[in-house]
Amino acid sequence: MSIEALAVLMFVSMMFMLATGLPIAFVLGGLGLFFGFFAWGSNCVHVLIAHASDLMRANLLLACPLFIFMAYTLERSGIAEDLYDMMYRWMGSLRGGLAIGTVVGCTIVAAMSGISTTGVLMMGIVGLPSMLRRKYDKKLAMGCIMAGGALGPLIPPSLIMIIYSLIAGQSVGKLFLGGVFPGLLLSALFIFYIVTRCYLNPNLGPPLPPEERVGWWEKIIILKNIIIPFLLVLGVLGSISFGVATPTEAAAIGAFGAVLSAGLHRKLNWSIMREVIFKTIRTVCMVMWIIFGAGVSRPSSKG
Amino acid sequence: MSSLRKYVLFVSDLNDKVGRIASFLVIGMIGFLVFEVFMRYLFDSPTVWAHELSAMLYGAYFLLGGGYTLKWNEHIRVDIIYDILPIRAKAILDLVTWLFFYAFCAVLVIEGAQYAWISVRGMERSNSMWEPFIWPSKICIPLGGLLMLLQGFTKTLNDVAIALTGRDLLSQEDKRSASA
């Protein structure tokens, strides 16, 4: 059988196996072995082991657990309340202001975290009840949180870009840089959409009643809430873009910073840390075993 | 039946313990890398070991955590079709498709063991400046595969039970004591 036919057959059977509900990692790994066996005979099993030991030496992948740990720590660190509090005071008086604030908050969170669930959870838990209490439209409130969460993998740091850079052999710094503008553009478009919708129909996002608005002095004071997120973004993205640290080291600094900021908010206790640590390994293993499986099928699909 | 149930509980418990212990390695990775950055910039004396040690910890971390992740059923899958199937059909389908899982893990265990054995016998060291022994991390390959295999077998046993009787192998009390 020719290489092309083999590749097509492999792709079709991958789609079929994925549809059966076998975990993706084992679909990729199993198919890779199967086709490798078919193409090269029993020698193909060495590929698996060689790939395992390659993965164990890939320093860039080390950034995965660190960024995931950082994201899960941020979720529990109390930064979400701080950010939302600030957005509430600054934007509350506008039509749809809380929704705009949520998108801005998600954008800031996206610059600290590499996965999308962080933004959704952080802004969702504080933002959604508050918006619904102010009689915001349910669809608008949910929509701005979900859309904001999608910025997570786009605005650097981004877990998916790290994995992609390793598999495709691209520079992770360039990929990160490439995500900044589209991410900010999307964020601006979301805000534009919310403003337009709420301008046309004020019932979607009513402004805060005048007695709940705050003066300029309080608006300026609350700006202190952005100091910690700013330092975290600077620590991670700054040290990558100024060449101070490798992405892996930057991830470690970010994870350390997230723990520190949880400590500053007095949210650092044993049960939270335990939960974060256990959740981290499950997510990391889910990702890594897929990469593992994909690595086995990659050489066989190249023929 | 009861010995099968004991096996399932034992393996789930084992993977829980191994996974939880392995999960704390992430603290080590963060600590060593932050230490490295501090040493480099504050004291101008970078270490030779921080990156390599954390990479070795990471290898052990994700290999040993595989079975634990499987126990919690967090290996992601495409469930568009799978989710609408009745429970018995799911079990029967899984009995077939999980053959892939067994092939994958069996290779990992058998080949990985030979590979690790060569490394242990030669007391292999890494060819970096630091030159650590490399066999402890190579042992993790068959070990991780084995933990995965044991955990996967509990799922297959459960699938057989569902296919035959329509019910889970473990009763509700068993599950509660296993997750405690």
pLDDT (tens digit per residue) in A204-263: 888 888 877 888 888 888 888 889 999 999 988 888 888 888 889 999 999 999 999 999
Chain mean position to CA B164: 29
Maximal CA-CA distance, chain A: 77
The mean pLDDT value for B86-104 works out to 92
Task: For chain A, give the percent of residues with pLDDT over 70.
Answer: 98
CB contact under 8 Å between B77 and A253, yes or no, is no
- Residue in chain B nearest A18 by alpha carbon: B78
Distance CA(A182)–CA(B2), nearest Å, equals: 58
Buried b (16+ CB within 10 A) or exposed e, A85-124: ebbbbbbbebbbbbbbbbbbbbbbbbbbbbbbbbbbbbbb
pLDDT in tens, B16-49: 999 999 999 999 999 999 999 989 888 878 888 8
Measure the CA–CA gap between A56 and B61, rounded to whole angstroms.
10
Phi-psi region for residue B3, left (φ > 0), alpha (ψ -120 to 50) or beta?
A: alpha
C-alpha distance across the termini of chain B, in Å: 22
Q: Please tell me the distance from the alpha carbon of residue B159 to that of residue B176, in angstroms, as a whole number.
A: 19
What is the model's pLDDT at position B165? 87
Q: Is the Cα dihedral A12, A17, A21, A22 positive or negative?
A: negative
Distance (Å, whole) CA B79 – CA B162 = 19
Distances (CA, A) of A109 to A65, A67, A144: 18, 13, 14
Phi-psi region of B81 (alpha: psi -120 to 50; beta: other; left: phi over 0): alpha
How much is the pLDDT for A303? 41
Query: Which residues does chain A have within 8 Å of residue B36's beta carbon, measured at their own beta carbons?
Result: 249
Residues of chain B contacting residue A56, judged by C-beta atoms under 8 Å apart: 55-56, 58-59, 63, 137, 140
CA distance A243 to A282: 31
When the pLDDT of each residue in chain A is averaged and rounded to a whole number, the result is 87
- Min Cα separation A280/chain B (Å): 8
Residue type, A125: I
d(CA B46, CA B49): 9
Q: pLDDT band at B131, cuts 50/70/90?
A: confident
Q: What is the DSSP secondary structure assignment for residue A235, as one 8-state letter?
A: I
Contacts of B128 in chain A (CB under 8 A): none
Closest Cβ opposite residue B74 in set A53, A282, A293: A282
pLDDT value, residue A40: 75
Among B24, B27, B30, B102, which would you mutate to test the A interface (most chain A Cβ atoms within 10 Å of its Cβ)? B30
Nearest to A86 by CA among A104, A72, A73: A104
Q: Least CB-CB distance to A277: which of B23, B75, B110?
A: B23
Instruction: Calculate the dihedral angle through the C-alpha atoms of A253, A254, A255, A259, rounding to the nearest 10 degrees.
Output: 100
Contact at CB, A24 and B77, closer than 8 angstroms = yes
Nearest CA among A187, A210, A199 for reference residue A96: A199
Could you check whether the bond before residue A202 is cis, i.e. omega within 30 degrees of 0? no
Across the interface, of B26, B82, B115, the residue whose CB is closest to A20 is B82
Using CB atoms, pick whichever of B65, B76, B137 lies closest to residue A281: B65
Work out the average pLDDT over B134-144: 88
d(CA A19, CA A293): 17
For residue B179, pLDDT over 60 is answered with no
The shortest CB-CB distance from A33 to any of B36, B98, B104 is to: B104
This prediction has a pTM of 0.90
The pLDDT value given to residue A89: 87
Partner-chain contact A281 B68, CB within 8 Å: yes
Mutation for testing the B interface, residue in A13, A17, A18, A22 having most B CBs under 10 Å = A22
| Identity of the residue in A19, A255, A286 whose CB atom sits nearest the CB atom of B75 | A286
By C-alpha distance, the chain A residue nearest B104 is A30
Q: How far apart are CA A241 and CA A238, in angstroms?
A: 5
DSSP tag of B75? S
* Percent of chain B's residues with pLDDT above 70: 94
Confidence of residue B100 (pLDDT cuts 50, 70, 90): very high
Of A34, A277, A284, the CB nearest to B24: A277
Q: Among A34-43, A160-169, B99-108, B118-127, name the most confident range.
A: B99-108
Quickly count: other Cβ atoms within 10 Å of residue B87's Cβ.
11
Tens of pLDDT, residues B159-175: 999 998 888 887 766 66
| Percent share of chain B, pLDDT over 90 | 47
Q: Compare all CA atoms of chain A with the CA of B137 and give the residue at the minimum distance.
A: A56
Chain B positions touching A53 (Cβ under 8 A) are 115, 138, 141
Measured between alpha carbons, how far is B52 from A36 in angstroms, rounded to an integer?
31
Which residue of B15, B21, B26, B134 is the best one to mutate when testing the A interface, meaning the one whose CB has the most A CBs within 10 A? B26
Q: Which two tokens stand for residue A188?
A: 């601006």
Select, from the ranges A35-39, A56-60, A100-104, the one with the highest average predicted confidence (pLDDT).
A100-104
> Which among A47, A63, A77 has a CA at the least distance from the CA of A114?
A63
Instruction: Output the CA–CA distances (angstroms, integers) from residue A235 to A37, A79, A219, A228, A256, in the order listed.
Output: 47, 16, 26, 10, 10
Residues of chain B with Cβ-Cβ distance to A286 below 8 Å are 69, 74-76
Q: How confident is the model at residue A147 (pLDDT cuts 50, 70, 90)?
A: very high
Length of chain A measured in residues: 303
Residue of B nearest to A293 (CA): B104
Q: pLDDT class for A1, splitting at 50, 70, 90? A: low
User: How many Å apart are CA B23 and CA B8, to the nearest integer?
Assistant: 22
**Which residues partner with B125 through β-bridges?**
B133
Going from the C-alpha of B62 to that of each of A87, A267, B19, B137, the distances in angstroms are 39, 28, 9, 11
Helix or strand (DSSP H, E) at B50? helix B50-71
What confidence score (pLDDT) does residue A215 get?
A: 81
Position A302 pLDDT exceeds 60: no
Q: Provide, as residue numbers in chain B, all residues whose Cβ is less than 8 Å from the Cβ of A235.
A: none
At A69, the pLDDT band (50, 70, 90 cuts) reads very high
What DSSP element (H or E) covers A238? none
Do B141 and A52 make contact, defined as CB atoms within 8 angstroms?
yes
Q: Per the CB < 8 Å rule, is A53 touching B115?
A: yes
